[in-house]
């Protein structure tokens, strides 16, 4: 452990956001197991969930070390209260149908790819290493989900309508990817990671051509804002946590 | 995960394949190959009954893998640690992969995966009854790995030498992963047994519920088994149901002792003269009632699979339609 012992609260929060994004979306995707439209997609969704849970383990372990209070990945994953989770709201939304699931995976993976690329030069060496390892996975998720966005958008009339409805629903939530509070400036200044807003133009450049190929209409930005990354979540979050935390809350202190 | 009822009869609507002409010379060549312990390949001539038996057995096995994803999937979102969640996700994904290899092996016999799958969804095809029992606690996940994957391995190791090449090769690959699953399940239980009294009680309760269904996975007694004799002659089955069951019981008793749990059978004891463990009478009434659709989860399992299939129809149609459009565009461009 060559990591500095004392990290700033902003630094810890930045890592927690990434870890919680992976954790909560991984949790959502694992709900699909056994219920996907074809066997190959059952496996692909489980595989994406597995990658994300793997990333969450690395990131939460790292956040726990930075914090220096002896919390491990499981204590962070299962024993925080809702307000202390830092994932963007998009990741906690219910899966709904396969259309919404793949559109979300696509929008999120594009964000993750760009973030992980930028973290290669992070002043936090451990974070840079995790990002480098996870980048390959995120790229695969992006291309797999992107292919489905195109198939659905450019498929039947029904699938086009469902893909468009999913995009219309999810798009406003993506504004949160790029939102920052003053604490985030300190993170960017310390060279830990990019300022969130700086990712937006690249993200649009990555996402829009695929949506065009899928013949989908890119929604305009609206004043709608969400604040999951600052700890204010949607109504869905508590239910997700109730399920995810069930065992740890029921059997406090037990080892599994 | 696996097949039990290697020889459970299937009602009407057996999948149809290409008509095979019965021919005495071919038959002699086939018999000679079987007797020499050789492999039959997809392109080789085979008796129609051999082909039908294989289609039934391989597809039942494939369906079992797929249906088996449901009881275990039931606990992914509630797994008590991230490590266990990851292991379970990987396991269930493996089971889906087993389904894929097996459907592909069945397809070499002239049936399509979709028609086999439809037979499952409309209740014509069987799958392993073990998955008609509910997973009630986290310990069930460990016990399934230990006992159910364990019984599956016992059943399947001999199938690695099955006379039909594509099936035998699929089994080699699958068996490796199943033994990994078994070790992970056992490890989960060991960890729980080192824990609190509540955790140990949870393990014992799960063992109490899964023990008898697990030993039923080897199918009816040899004397009551309809297909066994022919399957043995064809090299599809190598070891009888009762012999496999005995092997499983003998191996499991010691593992149970190491774990520190009690197997729920008062008649289970070492028989010095036989060199094996004796065990109590199996409740075949329960076995047949579950096979015949009256287990706690039969209806729910198939309903879940049917719901996924029906709700996914628009997605599959979209993929086909997009492929058609792509092909048409490429044609115009060319
Ligand atoms: Fe397995
Ligand atoms: Fe399996």
Distance CA B288, CA B158 (A): 25
> By the 8 A CB rule, do A145 and A25 touch?
no
Candidates A170, A21, A175; CA nearest to A99 is: A170
Tell me the CA–centroid distance for residue B127 and ligand 1, in Å: 15
Candidates B297, B273, B151, B138; CA nearest to B212 is: B151
Look at domain B24-333 and name its CATH class.
mainly alpha
Instruction: State residue B278 phi and psi, 5-degree precision.
Output: -85, 150
Neighbouring-strand partners of residue B276: B271
Q: What angle do CA B9, B172, B10 make, to 5 degrees?
A: 10
- Please tell me the number of the ligand nearest to residue B156's CA: 2
**Which residue bears the tokens 């399992």?**
B301
Is the pLDDT score of B13 beyond 70?
A: no
Helix residue ranges per DSSP H, chain A: 9-30, 39-67, 73-78, 98-118, 125-153, 157-170, 182-189, 200-213, 235-250
Q: Domain map of chain A by residue range?
A: 9-250
- Pick from B77, B97, B188: which is nearest to A30 by CB? B77
Residues of B within 8 A of A61 (CB-CB) are none
A9-250: CATH number: 1.20.1260.10
Q: Domain map of chain B by residue range?
A: 24-333
Question: How many CA atoms are closer than 13 Å to the CA of B289, on its beta-carbon side?
Answer: 9
Distance CA B269, CA A165 (A): 64
pLDDT single digits (tens) A156-196: 999 999 999 999 999 999 999 999 988 898 999 999 999 99
Gap from B132 CA to chain A (nearest CA, Å): 15
Interface test with B, best of A24, A25, A27, A34 (most B CBs within 10 A): A34
> By the 8 A CB rule, do B251 and B155 touch?
no
Neighbouring-strand partners of residue B271: B276
Share above pLDDT 90 across residues of chain B, in percent, rounded to a whole number: 86
Radius of gyration of chain A (CA): 18
> By the 8 A CB rule, do B243 and B231 touch?
no
pLDDT single digits (tens) B161-176: 999 999 999 999 999 9
Are the Cβ atoms of A34 and B304 closer than 8 angstroms?
A: yes
pLDDT band at residue B232 under the 50/70/90 scheme: confident
Task: Give kind and range of the element (H or E) at residue A61.
Answer: helix A39-67
**Distance from the first to the final alpha carbon of chain A:** 26
Is the pLDDT score of A3 beyond 60?
A: no
The crossing angle, in degrees rounded to 10, of helices A125-153 and A98-118 is 150
β strands within chain B, DSSP E: 269-271, 276-278
Is the pLDDT score of B329 beyond 60?
A: yes
Residue-level pLDDT at B233: 87
Distance CA B334, CA B321 (A): 20
B235 Rama sector, left if φ>0, alpha if ψ -120 to 50, beta otherwise: left
Tell me the CA–centroid distance for residue B181 and ligand 1, in Å: 5
> By the 8 A CB rule, do A89 and A156 touch?
no
- Greatest pairwise CA separation for chain A in angstroms: 56
What are the structure tokens assigned to A156, written together?
Answer: 């039947």
Handedness of CA B220, B221, B225, B230 (dihedral sign): positive
Neighbouring-strand partners of residue B269: B278
What are the structure tokens assigned to B296, written together?
Answer: 């706690």
- Pick from A50, A57, A246: which is nearest to B89 by CB? A50
Gap from B190 CA to chain A (nearest CA, Å): 10
Are the Cβ atoms of B80 and A50 closer than 8 angstroms?
A: no
Residue-level pLDDT at B316: 98
Q: What is the mean pLDDT of residues A198-226?
A: 98
Which pTM does this prediction carry? Answer: 0.94
Share above pLDDT 70 across residues of chain A, in percent, rounded to a whole number: 98
- Please tell me the number of the ligand nearest to residue B64's CA: 2
- Pick from A54, A152, A251: which is nearest to B318 by CB? A152
Distance CA A46, CA A256 (A): 22
Is the pLDDT score of A219 beyond 60?
A: yes
Neighbouring-strand partners of residue B40: B164
Q: How far is CA B224 from CA A194, B61, B179, B221, B230, in A?
A: 70, 21, 29, 5, 14
Are the Cβ atoms of A159 and B66 closer than 8 angstroms?
A: no
What are the structure tokens assigned to B295, written together?
Answer: 């287990």
Residue-level pLDDT at B226: 72
**Distance from the first to the final alpha carbon of chain B:** 47
pLDDT band at residue B3 under the 50/70/90 scheme: very low
**Residue in chain B nearest A99 by alpha carbon:** B315
pLDDT single digits (tens) B291-327: 999 999 999 999 999 999 999 999 999 999 999 999 9
Tell me the CA–centroid distance for residue B177 and ligand 2, in Å: 7
> By the 8 A CB rule, do B229 and B162 touch?
no
Residue-level pLDDT at A183: 83
Distance CA B330, CA B334 (A): 6
Handedness of CA B114, B118, B121, B123 (dihedral sign): negative
Tell me the CA–centroid distance for residue B217 and ligand 1, in Å: 14
> By the 8 A CB rule, do A84 and A159 touch?
no
**Residue in chain B nearest A41 by alpha carbon:** B96
Total Cβ atoms within 10 A of residue B116: 23
> By the 8 A CB rule, do A230 and B54 touch?
no
Q: What is the mean pLDDT of residues B149-164?
A: 95
Residues of B within 8 A of A49 (CB-CB) are 89
Distance of CA B270 to the CA centre of its chain: 29
């Amino acid at each position: 452990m060559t990591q500095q012992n004392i990290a700033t609260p902003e630094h810890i929060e930045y890592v927690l956001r990434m870890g919680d994004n992976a954790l909560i979306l991984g949790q959502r995707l694992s709900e699909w197991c056994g219920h996907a439209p074809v066997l190959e997609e059952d496996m692909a969704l489980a595989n994406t969930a597995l990658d994300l849970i793997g990333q969450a383990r690395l990131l939460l372990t790292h956040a726990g070390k930075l914090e220096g209070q002896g919390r491990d990945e499981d204590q962070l994953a299962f024993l925080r209260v809702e307000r202390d989770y830092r994932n963007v709201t998009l990741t906690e939304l219910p899966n709904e149908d396969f259309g919404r699931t793949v559109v979300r995976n696509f929008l999120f993976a594009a964000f993750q790819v760009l973030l992980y690329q930028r973290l290669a030069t992070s002043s936090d060496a451990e974070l840079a290493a995790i990002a480098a390892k996870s980048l390959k996975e995120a790229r695969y998720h992006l291309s797999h989900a992107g292919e489905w966005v195109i198939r659905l958008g450019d498929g039947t009339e029904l699938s086009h309508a469902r893909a468009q409805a999913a995009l219309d629903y999810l798009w406003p939530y993506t504004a949160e990817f790029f939102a920052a509070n003053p604490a985030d400036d300190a993170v960017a200044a310390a060279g830990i990671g990019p300022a969130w807003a700086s990712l937006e133009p690249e993200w649009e450049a990555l996402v829009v051509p695929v949506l065009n190929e899928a013949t989908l209409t890119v929604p305009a930005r609206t004043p709608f804002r969400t604040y999951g990354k600052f700890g204010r979540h949607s109504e869905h979050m508590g239910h997700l946590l109730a399920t995810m935390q069930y065992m740890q809350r029921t059997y406090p202190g037990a080892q599994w | 995960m696996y097949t039990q009822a290697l020889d459970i009869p299937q009602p009407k609507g057996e999948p149809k394949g290409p008509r095979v002409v019965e021919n005495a010379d071919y038959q002699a060549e086939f018999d000679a190959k079987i007797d020499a312990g050789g492999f039959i390949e997809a392109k080789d001539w085979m008796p129609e009954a051999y082909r039908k038996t294989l289609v039934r057995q391989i597809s039942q096995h494939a369906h079992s893998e797929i249906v088996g994803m449901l009881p275990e999937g039931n606990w992914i979102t509630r797994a008590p640690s991230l490590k266990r969640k990851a292991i379970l996700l990987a396991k269930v994904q493996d089971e889906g992969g087993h389904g894929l290899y097996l459907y592909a092996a069945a397809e070499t016999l002239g049936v399509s995966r979709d028609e086999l799958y439809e037979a499952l969804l409309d209740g014509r095809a069987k799958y392993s009854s073990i998955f008609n029992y509910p997973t009630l606690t986290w310990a069930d996940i460990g016990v399934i790995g230990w006992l159910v994957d364990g019984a599956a391995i016992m059943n399947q190791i001999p199938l690695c030498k099955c006379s039909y090449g594509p099936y035998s090769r699929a089994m080699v690959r699958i068996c490796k992963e199943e033994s990994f699953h078994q070790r992970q399940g056992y490890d989960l239980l060991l960890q729980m047994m080192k824990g609190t009294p509540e955790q140990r009680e949870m393990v014992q309760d799960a063992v109490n519920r899964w023990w008898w269904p697990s030993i039923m996975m080897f199918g009816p007694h040899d004397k009551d088994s309809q297909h066994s004799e022919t399957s043995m002659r064809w090299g599809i089955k190598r070891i009888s149901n009762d012999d496999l069951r005995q092997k499983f019981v003998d191996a499991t008793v010691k593992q149970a002792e190491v774990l520190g749990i009690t197997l729920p059978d008062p008649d289970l004891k070492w028989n010095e003269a036989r060199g094996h463990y004796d065990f109590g009478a199996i409740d075949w009434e329960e076995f047949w009632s579950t096979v015949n659709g009256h287990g706690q989860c039969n209806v729910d399992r198939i309903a879940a699979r049917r719901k996924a299939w029906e709700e996914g129809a628009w997605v599959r149609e979209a993929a086909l339609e997009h492929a058609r459009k792509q092909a048409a565009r490429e044609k115009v461009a060319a």
